[in-house]
Structure 1
Amino acid sequence: MSVSATTEEAAGIAELEEIYQHSTARKLTLLGVLFILLIVIALVATATGVAGITVADVARVILSKIIPGLQLSTVSDLAETIVMELRLPRIFLAMLAGLSLAGAGAVMQGVLRNPLVSPFTLGLSAGASLGAAIAIVLGTSVLGSAFIVAGKYLIVVNSFIFGSITMLLIYGIAKIKGAVPETLILAGVALGYLFQAGVSALKYFSDNEALKDLVVWLMGGLWGASWETVIILFPIVLICLILLERYAWDLNALGSGEEVAMSLGVNVDRLRLVTLMLATLMASSTIAFTGIIGFIGLVAPHVCRFIVGSDNRFLLPGAALMGAVLLLLADTLARIVLAPVEIPVGILTSLIGAPFFLFLLLRKKHQYW
């Protein structure tokens, strides 16, 4: 090989490295912008509502809690109570739910290599709905009478267990027939219809009060927000997202096809099982507290894919942040658009998400994988 050829090759490698570093820096900057945008929206959302509280008041209250001994006499006790006990828990729950549902949707789309997959379309939400319906209508838990002592968590635990069972059944069916993406998706659709039939039957046989509670839960909302809920969800969502990020390179390899991934040493079956279980744990935990909130897990990964591309190292955290932004905006709008009447956020996400998703599909000029 001549000296000139070696020099040209080195120059080409250096140019590629520069392009890669520039692309990485750009994507990290976009993630940083998303994070800052989320913080700003959270502050504005906390100040937004029937009671007149400014963003400055919100900042003062939060600072007084973060910095012990800081005295802020300009903040009234009423404002502090509204911020700390009513609005902030709801804001945090909205962000956690958005992070969870969008992150799970991005992982499911990547693992199954299908842009239409989400916790909602895979039947996970339908399974959680059946669990909640059993708790609301029959007043019983799948864990038996020993659990009924913690009655306020009856719906939460039932919906979580049924959501998790759904994914285990889906994977079990796919394992019997061969764990290919098509089998997983079709199994999810079939189980979704089965569980929806169970929910419909429970609606039919329920009394008026139970029917009302079930319908409200199925609409999806953040009414049950509390610091207790946030404390339970936060470690689950954070740990699942961190663990899923560790599989980003394997998901990138799988995006090029199963054969390519296996040739690079990726255990495809194990990757599917672990990532789908982590995504299910994260999404089921959230659905158990919020009810059915559709389209966040479907739309947010697509929006982020247009922004940062399909590299899962950036797509997974980006989709999670985008989901938090979208759900926080939707919940804030749901609180104020007909104030003091509150619209269930699940209705609003579907009303906004469906046409927006169709718009994205019509504008799409390239394949995702």
Structure 2
Amino acid sequence: MNQQQQIIDEYQQHQNKKIWLTIILITLIAIAVIWSLLSGSVEISVTNIISVLLGQGSNKLQAIIWNIRLPRILTAVVAGSGLAISGAVMQSMLRNPLGSPYTLGISHAAAFGAAFSIIIFGTGSVHSSSADAVLVNNPYFTSGAAFICAMLTTLIIVAVAKYRNAATETMILTGVALGSLFTAGTTALQYFGSDVEIASIVFWTFGDVGRVVWSELGFMSALVLGGSIYFIYHSWNYNALDSGDETAKSLGVAVDKVRLGGMFVASLLTSLIVSLVGIIGFVGLVAPHIVRKISGGDEKYLLPLSALMGGLLLLVSDTAARTILAPIVLPVGILTSFLGVPLFLYLIIKGRKYW
């Protein structure tokens, strides 16, 4: 009886730990949002923020908060959440701790689509401002091209995996091959491009959450929310898959259908986010591993906690990128790469088994 009570107590402590982690992450995101609103080349106080949110304050402050800082902050949270939960699902579906959009070549495909748009259709140009010498003058067309190429890669991976009975090794190898193909294609386009076009490609691939406007943010938020609900609804199936395909099948899980569906939705979210904000590396890899190390691998909690962790990581990284060398704004992809590469190397060297 004492042993049974001990097991119950340990389980309750484990559940309480996850609840507290959720509360802590939400609190940290709220603090990071306030910090980000206060940070920038123009000094804004908490009183100014409250006044603007209440519909008061000067036109200048309202423009800065409503048109610049708030969309950027919310984009960082939503994009980080979408990338992180997609990364967690990819790692579970592939049963590979290094599973991510990079592994499947989705980010490389998006970069090729943007490069194709900039060089072939001329969507990159020189800006008259000394602060922004190079920009993409038709971001919607460029984002659309990036999205089409990323989704094309997803469809190829899903089609090949379905043909080969959805083997995880098949998905990874197909993604690696397509990633190499699109990288070569991007390099070839840059070889024939002008200096301005090459600079525009580099500018796009840096990753920037500040380029998203309210309408795009609304669409991205709706898709990320819908995808997250889909993932959490299937969390029990993902837990079964973590135990192996044979075990999952014995529990009544349609393994091929669940795996292909999860990979497709995760790739769809990633494709949309990358097409809008550019390439932001390693958030989808880092966030799930941090959460898994703290709270374990139960998908029911891993997925929403990974989304919260991803939103926090990207928001903090973007705020730091805006303030470290102010008034110079660093690309947020640089900081996320500095964070992600050490973990990536750690996983390779350590070879830790998560499943």
TM-score normalized with structure 2 length: 0.90
Distance 2:306 2:47 in 1: 29
Deviations 1:296-318 (A, max 9, x none): 11111111111111001111111
Residue 68 of structure 2 is matched in structure 1 by 86
> Where in structure 2 are the equivalents of 1:179-194 lying within 5 Å?
179-194=166-181
Task: Flag the 1:332–1:264 CA change in 2: closer, same or farther, 3 A.
Answer: same
**Aligned pair in 2 of structure 1 residues 366, 135: CA closer, same or farther (>3 Å)?**
closer
**Contact persistence 1:105–1:297 (CA under 8 A):** yes
CA apart distance, 1:131? 1.3
CA separation in 2, counterparts of 1:358 and 1:208?
34
The answer to whether structure 1 residue 336 and structure 2 residue 323 are counterparts is yes
Q: Is 1:209 aligned to 2:196, yes or no?
A: yes
**Which residue does the alignment assign to 1:268?**
255
User: 2:133 aligns to what?
Assistant: none
Deviations 1:321-351 (A, max 9, x none): 1111111111111111121121111122112
Residue identity matched to 2:283: I
| Secondary structure, aligned partner of 1:341 | coil
The reply to whether residue 234 of structure 1 matches residue 216 of structure 2 is: no
Higher-Rg member (1/2): 1
Q: 1:275 deviation in Å?
A: 0.6
The answer to whether the Cα contact below 8 Å between 2:158 and 2:264 also exists between their aligned partners in 1 is no
Deviations 1:163-183 (A, max 9, x none): 111111112222223321111
SS at match of 1:299: helix
Q: Which residue of 1 aligns with 2:41?
A: 50
Tell me the CA shift for residue 38 of structure 1.
Answer: 0.7
Partners of 2:121 and 2:210 in 1: how far apart? 20
1:218, distance to aligned residue in structure 2 (A): 1.2
Which residue of 2 is the match for residue 69 of structure 1? none
**Counterparts of 2:170 and 2:344, CA distance in 1:** 25
Work out the CA distance in 1 between the residues paired with 2:26 and 2:61.
26
**Deviations 1:12-55 (CA, angstroms, capped at 9, x unpaired):** 55554443333223212211210111111011111101100123
* Aligned equivalents of 1:356, 1:368: Cα separation in 2: 14
2:17 to 26, 30, 33: 26
Check whether the contact 1:45–1:91 (CA below 8 A) recurs between aligned residues.
Answer: yes
Q: Which amino acid aligns with 2:315?
A: L
1:121 correspondence with 2:103:
yes
SS at match of 1:223: helix
Contact 2:84-2:283 at 8 Å conserved across structures: yes
Once the two structures are superposed, residues 176-227 of structure 1 have per-residue CA deviations (whole angstroms, 9 ceiling, x without a partner) of 2332111111110010000111111111111222211111111212231221
> Could you say which residue in structure 1 is the equivalent of 2:245?
258
Which range moves more in the overlay, 103-112 or 20-29?
Answer: 20-29
Q: Matched residue of 2:197: which SS? A: helix
Matched, 1:348 2:330: no
SS of residue in 2 equivalent to 1:170 = helix
Match of 2:306 in 1: 319
2: CA distance, partners of 1:234 / 1:58: 23
Aligned twin of 1:199: 186
After superposition, the Cα gap between the structure-2 partners of 1:217 and 1:261, relative to the gap in structure 1 and judged at 3 Å, is same
Residues 365/116 of structure 1: CA separation in 2 closer, same or farther (3 Å cut): closer
Aligned to 2:130: none
Which deviates further from its counterpart, 13-22 or 203-212?
A: 13-22
Letter in 2 for 1:368: Y
CA distance in 1, matches of 2:59, 2:347: 46
Structure 1 unmatched runs, 5+ = 1-7, 66-71, 142-149
User: What CA distance in whole angstroms lies between the structure 2 residues aligned with 1:365 and 1:152?
Assistant: 41
Q: CA RMSD in A?
A: 2.1
* In structure 2, distance between residues paired with 1:220 and 1:152: 13
Instruction: Give, in whole Å, the separation in 2 of the partners of 1:163 and 1:203.
Output: 19
Asked if 1:307 is matched to 2:294, the reply is yes
Cα distance in 2 for partners of 1:77, 1:104 equals 39
Cα drift, residue 291 of structure 1: 0.7
Question: Shift of the alpha carbon at 1:96?
Answer: 1.0
2:345 maps to 1:367: no
Gaps of 5+ in 2: 124-136
Contact preservation (8 Å) 1:140, 1:154: no
Alignment partner of 1:76 is 2:58 = yes
CA contact (8 A) 2:165 2:256 kept: no
Distance 1:55 1:224, change over 3 A: same
